[in-house]
Structure 1
Amino acid sequence: MFINQKPPPSAMLITSFQLHSVISTAYSQAARKFLAVPSEKWEKKAILRSSASSNCFSGGILKMEVKICSSNEGCCTSQVNNGDLPLPVAFLEFLEENGLDPSIYSLAESIPRYIRVKPEFESDIGGIEFELNCKLEKVIWLPSFYSIPPHIQIASSQSYQLGKIYGMDAASGAAVLALNVLPGDHVLDLCAAPGAKLCMLCDMLSGTGSLTGVDVARHRLAACRTMLQKYSIGDVCRLFVCDGTSFSVLPFRSKYETAGTDPEVSEVKFAEWTDRKSRKEKRRERRARERNYSKPNPEPELLFYGRNSGVAGLSKSELFRPIKDDEPCSSGYDKVLVDAECTHDGSIKHIQKFESWGWKTLQRRVLDAERTDDLFNLQSRLLTNGFKLLKTGGTLVYSTCSLTIAQNEDVIERFLCLNPSAELQEVDVADKWPCKPGRIPKTLRFDPTTSQTSGLFIAKISKLP
């Protein structure tokens, strides 16, 4: 393969090479050889297609097209065929550094979409199929989940609007199922938005125990509240706007200690929840939020609570009372889910969004080294705080939709070294799951190629006495 080091401004380099067994590797190697050629006058930018669509082939030859442009012409990209996702070289390098195959991003049209049918409506599958005009394929390894063609939109359907179904990737459903939630459990979802996990957890609790959802973004948590109210499943749920790394509200239990609280404050009790607040109340709450935003550690904001969530009848000082260091061991949560913020590189649909958002946004959100380091620290702190709030003998599931080792196995290894009371557990319901083992024994990995789902990492941890 010959590369001209000083092409004219409008030149397009078309290279051809024999088809290799791993298409993406050939793409990556050829691109790097091209981009490695030094040039003072030319900024070389390439976007590669790793899809094996029929129009990429000609007589058994795989073709790669790369445009070259001067630095003041902006970024030139190769023509995109339907079903292809152009990937910038910087992202390909990110994937290579993390041992990930870029060909997974050509699978967008072959990965099905998943929906969860609320258990009480599974007898109405025929009606839902008629309305969506497609066949619902039962996911045999995940109860109440069905796959549908990726182009089917559910938001305008009556089944969705009536709360019979909602969209949720099967891998995310597996992370929730790994918790083994039982009726009566007190459950904490430390990164609750956008809300599908909350809905599934509410169904698993069957109106018993309690469910606490936490998210740092108020608008995202407001979407969770809307879902709980839409599906009428929020009776045992409460939602807090708070940084998950510092959240410290325990589940309400019958023997709450309230000694030492201000008697004047404790006289004011939370009434039964209503979202029909007066304009005066809304204005007062908005001003309180504005005051909290100026504080270094704002108090959690209670955004929603159900009638059976243990909030109605409490005072604010009782709800937000300081907890003793060892108190969570006996009065903490039975189950904790930490579906941590990550680079989302395991989600094809998420990476696709950068085509419209712009690849510079991908650079800032995914590829920036400082951002990656910050994420590792955030994930570690979320995991540490979630474990702190876990009751002795309880179960925590850590998950991300990243496929990188740094955001998964590395986080778990560091955490286990620092927490001798933490022990990795087998996910006992995973015998028939279409996933691979992680680098650490007992951890699991879903990926688009093997699982036909979004990428997801799962680690299940128990708290020893």
Structure 2
Amino acid sequence: MSEPQTADHAAKLRAYYAQFGIDVNDLLKEKLVLADRHIRLNPAFDGDETLKLLQTELPPDSKYPHPISWLHKSFGFYSLPGDFRLSQSSCYKEGRIYGQEVSSGAAVAALLSTHCDRIKGNDSPQVPLRILDLCCAPGLKLCAISDYLRKNVLSDNSEEATVIGVDCSESRLSTCRKIIEKHQVVPYIGSKEGKSIRIRLYNNDGTMFGSEPTNLIFDSSVCMEQRLHDEGRKRRNRSAKGRERKRLKELVDVDRQASQAGESSLSHVPVKLFDRVLVDVECSTDGSLKHVRRQLAKQAGVFVGTTKPETSESLSIPVLTDEEELRRLVDLQRSLLSNGFRLLKKGGHLVYSTCSLSEDQNEGVVKWLLDTYPSQASVIELSFDWSGVNGCEEQGWNEILKEGSIPGTVRFVPKLSSNNNMESSRILSDSGFFLAKIAKV
């Protein structure tokens, strides 16, 4: 990239963040105080016990863990200090907690309940439910979906719900599987909940899923069969992995035969349609200030925290400042959202989300869908109401949660403050996020 072009991109980047009250140069200051980090309790463990264990890992006078009061308690989100070393926590190692931003939890809450709807409705969805997470890796939202269903929807029902995750990256799906197994999202053999929920992972292009042969790489029922077969063994051998691949192929063949027999909701779609669809698309990830700081510091040749950073005069995030790259990204987002909407049943709900602040990637994509399907798609207005909720105003949520330019859509706005001595800055909120809830008529 030539020097004039680089300078132009840097100027555009500074202007982009300035509209949100953020000076890019502040992100490159040597000292940075981190915002609170968020966790979600794993309902496979006793919540009170987990909180007590967490308190032993914090200073005696700590106010943490602090509940996220504006999000319904059934989703189990709490805040911890920004410098809390999650990877060294025994609660994290044991799978008692997930490291998950509350903004992504809000997307799951919007998808599965009416707690967040501006006009409240019935919070007892009919079962069996079919839910699609179209861009699922690394799997934290998929686990949140499965945990909520198991705890709040299916506990007293003998029916089975199916949660399907799709991603184009096999390596990221491998991470997803490890998270599922670590946190016991798939119940162990003998659990009374063993038949209440079924999880499947497909390695497919999300823009084409449902229009091409599926590549099933994980099924929770097969996983439980293998656990029973391998019980007592320290590690799975090659023959065990071969048996699993064979069983997965058999399941794909059964699905294909059902589709050919006309049991699919649409003859040209080799999967049944879904009651709920989450489309958390690939984006520029510019909403996370910690992520942007690492990205810009790398470009500047700076090791954050050890070397005095340079200015942002030569820095850029091309997908935000290059019109052609942005257009390609928006086209991908439109394709993913369109396919997710195609796979949604009439009367079903879809949530579209990104961790970008870009209106092109957010309201622009939602408006495109509404214009493309004017008689089928409509926005269900969301409202995360913190008024009167203890602690929310003190924590600044009234400045972080905003309505998008389309009424009823929601933006989480990151916030950054700078000290006058020009040596340090503080991230007040790192939850740059957008979500919209859409109904199919």
Q: TM-score, normalised by structure 1?
A: 0.64
User: Counterparts of 1:168 and 1:271 in 2: how far apart (Å)?
Assistant: 26
What amino acid maps onto 1:405 in structure 2?
E
Is residue 2:40 matched to residue 1:116? yes
Is residue 2:109 matched to residue 1:177? yes
* CA root-mean-square deviation: 3.9
Q: Which moved more, 1:435-444 or 1:362-371?
A: 362-371
Change (3 A) 1:363 1:429: closer
Contact 2:282 2:333 in 1 (8 A): yes
Q: Tell me the residue number matched to 2:168.
A: 216
Post-superposition Cα deviations, 1:82-132, rounded to whole Å, max 9, x if no partner, equal xxxxx9545214445xx4332488586252111111234321212212124
Is residue 2:14 matched to residue 1:92? yes
Is residue 2:55 matched to residue 1:129? yes
Change (3 A) 1:270 1:190: closer
Is residue 2:259 matched to residue 1:317? no
Post-superposition Cα deviations, 1:261-296, rounded to whole Å, max 9, x if no partner, equal xxxxxxxx99833487654786999xxxxxxxxxxx
Q: Tell me the residue number matched to 2:336.
A: 382
User: Counterparts of 1:145 and 1:180 in 2: how far apart (Å)?
Assistant: 16
What amino acid maps onto 2:108 in structure 1?
V
- Where does 1:439-458 land on structure 2 (aligned, <5 Å)? 439-449=405-415, 452-458=429-435
Q: Tell me the residue number matched to 1:421.
A: 376
Q: Using the TM superposition, give the Cα deviation of residue 205 of structure 1 relative to its aligned residue in structure 2, in angstroms.
A: 1.1
Q: Tell me the residue number matched to 1:14.
A: none
Is residue 2:402 matched to residue 1:436? yes
Contact 1:246 1:385 in 2 (8 A): yes
User: Counterparts of 2:364 and 2:211 in 1: how far apart (Å)?
Assistant: 28
What amino acid maps onto 1:92 in structure 2?
R
User: Counterparts of 1:349 and 1:421 in 2: how far apart (Å)?
Assistant: 39
User: Counterparts of 1:375 and 1:128 in 2: how far apart (Å)?
Assistant: 40
Contact 2:265 2:272 in 1 (8 A): no
Change (3 A) 1:352 1:397: same
Q: Tell me the residue number matched to 1:272.
A: 222
What amino acid maps onto 1:238 in structure 2?
R
Contact 1:171 1:453 in 2 (8 A): no
Post-superposition Cα deviations, 1:159-191, rounded to whole Å, max 9, x if no partner, equal 011111111111111111111255642111111
User: Counterparts of 1:362 and 1:186 in 2: how far apart (Å)?
Assistant: 41
Q: What SS does the corresponding residue of 2:53 show, helix, strand or coil? A: helix
User: Counterparts of 1:110 and 1:414 in 2: how far apart (Å)?
Assistant: 36
The sequence identity of aligned pairs, in percent, is 34
Q: Using the TM superposition, give the Cα deviation of residue 318 of structure 1 relative to its aligned residue in structure 2, in angstroms.
A: 3.7
Q: Using the TM superposition, give the Cα deviation of residue 45 of structure 1 relative to its aligned residue in structure 2, in angstroms.
A: 8.5
Q: Using the TM superposition, give the Cα deviation of residue 325 of structure 1 relative to its aligned residue in structure 2, in angstroms.
A: 4.2
Change (3 A) 1:166 1:101: same
Question: Max radius of gyration: which structure?
Answer: 1
Q: Tell me the residue number matched to 2:365.
A: 411
User: Counterparts of 1:371 and 1:407 in 2: how far apart (Å)?
Assistant: 12
Contact 1:240 1:304 in 2 (8 A): no
Is residue 2:195 matched to residue 1:244? no
User: Counterparts of 2:146 and 2:379 in 1: how far apart (Å)?
Assistant: 25
What amino acid maps onto 2:337 in structure 1?
L
What amino acid maps onto 1:178 in structure 2?
A
Change (3 A) 1:244 1:126: same
Change (3 A) 1:209 1:314: farther
User: Counterparts of 1:241 and 1:313 in 2: how far apart (Å)?
Assistant: 13
Is residue 2:163 matched to residue 1:163? no
User: Counterparts of 1:217 and 1:362 in 2: how far apart (Å)?
Assistant: 26
User: Counterparts of 2:429 and 2:246 in 1: how far apart (Å)?
Assistant: 36
- Where does 1:259-408 land on structure 2 (aligned, <5 Å)? 272-273=222-223, 274=226, 278-279=237-238, 315=254, 317-318=256-257, 325=266, 331-358=272-299, 363-408=317-362
Is residue 2:80 matched to residue 1:141? no
Q: What SS does the corresponding residue of 2:86 show, helix, strand or coil? A: coil
User: Counterparts of 2:20 and 2:254 in 1: how far apart (Å)?
Assistant: 51
User: Counterparts of 1:405 and 1:216 in 2: how far apart (Å)?
Assistant: 25
User: Counterparts of 2:170 and 2:56 in 1: how far apart (Å)?
Assistant: 37
Q: Using the TM superposition, give the Cα deviation of residue 138 of structure 1 relative to its aligned residue in structure 2, in angstroms.
A: 1.1
Contact 1:400 1:408 in 2 (8 A): yes
Q: Tell me the residue number matched to 2:422.
A: none
User: Counterparts of 2:315 and 2:240 in 1: how far apart (Å)?
Assistant: 39
Contact 1:341 1:400 in 2 (8 A): yes
Ranges in structure 1 where 5+ consecutive residues have no aligned partner: 1-41, 47-86, 251-268, 286-301, 306-310
Post-superposition Cα deviations, 1:33-92, rounded to whole Å, max 9, x if no partner, equal xxxxxxxxx98988xxxxxxxxxxxxxxxxxxxxxxxxxxxxxxxxxxxxxxxx954521
Q: Using the TM superposition, give the Cα deviation of residue 362 of structure 1 relative to its aligned residue in structure 2, in angstroms.
A: 5.1
Q: TM-score, normalised by structure 2?
A: 0.67
What amino acid maps onto 2:54 in structure 1?
I
User: Counterparts of 2:182 and 2:429 in 1: how far apart (Å)?
Assistant: 29
Change (3 A) 1:357 1:220: farther
Which of 66, 69, 83 matches 1:151?
83
User: Counterparts of 1:457 and 1:314 in 2: how far apart (Å)?
Assistant: 38
Q: Tell me the residue number matched to 2:136.
A: 192
Contact 2:70 2:386 in 1 (8 A): no
Post-superposition Cα deviations, 1:380-434, rounded to whole Å, max 9, x if no partner, equal 1111000000011110000111111111111111110111200111126656574
What amino acid maps onto 1:148 in structure 2?
L
Change (3 A) 1:324 1:115: closer
Is residue 2:437 matched to residue 1:460? yes
Q: How many residue pairs align between the two structures? A: 343
Higher relative CO (CA 8 A, sep ≥ 6), structure 1 or 2?
2
